[in-house]
């Protein structure tokens, strides 16, 4: 910035002259207004989940009473009912196992590929990366219905294995893109000095590069974990009884009446809690991953 002469400063001074005290007060009022607006919007964003939580902790008779009840004696009966009357805990267990396995397998397959793609350009890399991008654009039904057929003919329909394989396949292209950005940020000198020290390419990757991109791996892992928690279409097509996930179970309660509906609201709360906790604890990684997706690809 260049040094300003007096004329420029005079022109830059606000037309309405105000004392420093006035200006500070103005700034304080506007920051209070901003705060109120942000608070109001955050409350609005959380209102569906707050309302579900309230519905789940009311007596069944007033859970969905009209006009709505705002003050009540909280009870956990709906949670107990959900646990006792349905197989919710099994669906939750399925969902967690599927999500963990999906995240782990996706990393195992995507990390080496992303590393290789970050270190070598050219035609082949271009084709693979463009292909990965293309697969992100495929409509879910174009995959889900054939998955159903393939799982049936392989005899793995309604098993967690089938769901995991499908999730890894769907999730992998995005993870490759995301991880490639993280690997590309690691200087090539690091690979070279490891190679000079006698490491093989795999040794350099495993012992030197992977530890450096650990935050990136956590980010990609969290995102594929969340994807497995969120995916509905593929899960509903591939499962029936044994491998059912929580979203599929809860969606099957749509259109039910009380008390099933209140149990479903308890289920919504139980599903949201671990996800929200994870997002709070790992907010830094989540933000990094979601933002990186926008910057590249």
Partner 1 sequence: MRGRDFALMVTPAVLLMTVLLSVPLLYTIVWSFQHVSYGEGSTWVGLGNYSAALRDPVFRDSVLFTVVFTVARTILLLAVGYGLALLLNAVRRERSAFLGLMLVPFIVPSIIGAMAFSWLFDSNFGGLANYFLQKVIGHGYNWFTDPWANRAVLIGNVIWHYVPLAVLILLAALQGIPQEPMEAASLDGASWRQKQWHVVLPALRPMLRFLALISVMDGLRMFDQLIPLSPSAQTINNQSVMLYVYQRAFTDSQQNLGLGSAVNVLMLFTMIVLVIPLLRSTYREVKAS
For the segment 144-173, give every residue that binds partner 1 (CB under 8 A).
Answer: 145-147, 149-150, 165-166, 168-170, 172-173
Closer of 20 and 67 to partner 1 (Cβ) = 67
For the segment 244-283, give every residue that binds partner 1 (CB under 8 A).
Answer: 247, 250-251, 254-255, 261, 264-265, 268, 271-272, 275-276, 279-280, 283
How many C-beta atoms surround the C-beta of residue 101 within 10 A?
A: 19
For the segment 73-102, give every residue that binds partner 1 (CB under 8 A).
Answer: none
For the segment 10-69, give every residue that binds partner 1 (CB under 8 A).
Answer: 11-12, 30-31, 34-35, 37-38, 41-42, 45-49, 51-52, 55, 63-69
For the segment 174-213, give every residue that binds partner 1 (CB under 8 A).
Answer: 176, 201-202, 205
287 binds partner 1 (CB under 8 A): yes
**C-beta of 198: minimal distance to partner 1 in Å?**
15
**C-beta of 138: minimal distance to partner 1 in Å?**
6
**C-beta of 195: minimal distance to partner 1 in Å?**
10
**C-beta of 140: minimal distance to partner 1 in Å?**
7
């Amino acid at each position: 910035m260049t040094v300003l002469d007096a004329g420029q400063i005079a022109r830059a001074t606000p037309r309405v002259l105000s004392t420093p005290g006035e200006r500070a007060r103005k700034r304080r009022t506007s920051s209070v207004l901003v705060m109120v607006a942000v608070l109001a919007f955050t409350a609005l964003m959380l209102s569906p989940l707050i309302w579900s939580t309230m519905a789940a902790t009311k007596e069944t008779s007033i859970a969905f009473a009209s006009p709505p009840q705002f003050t009540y004696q909280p009870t956990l009966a709906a949670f107990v009912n959900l646990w006792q009357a349905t197989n919710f805990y099994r669906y939750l267990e399925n969902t967690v196992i599927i999500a963990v396995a999906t995240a782990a397998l996706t990393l195992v397959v995507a990390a080496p590929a992303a590393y290789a793609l970050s270190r070598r350009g050219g035609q082949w890399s271009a084709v693979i990366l463009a292909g990965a991008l293309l697969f992100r654009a495929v409509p879910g039904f174009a995959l889900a219905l054939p998955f159903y057929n393939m799982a049936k003919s392989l005899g793995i329909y309604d098993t967690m294995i089938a769901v995991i394989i499908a999730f890894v396949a769907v999730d992998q292209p995005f993870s490759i893109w995301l991880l490639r950005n993280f690997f590309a940020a690691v200087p090539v000198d690091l690979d070279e000095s490891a190679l000079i020290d006698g490491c093989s390419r795999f040794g350099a990757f495993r012992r030197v590069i992977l530890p450096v991109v650990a935050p990136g791996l956590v980010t990609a892992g969290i995102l594929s974990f969340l994807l497995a928690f969120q995916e509905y279409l593929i899960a509903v097509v591939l499962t029936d009884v044994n491998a059912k996930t929580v979203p599929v179970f809860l969606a099957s309660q749509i259109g039910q009446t009380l008390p099933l509906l209140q149990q479903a609201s308890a289920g919504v709360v139980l599903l949201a809690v671990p996800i929200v906790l994870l997002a709070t604890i790992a907010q830094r990684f989540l933000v990094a991953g979601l933002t990186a997706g926008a910057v590249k690809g």
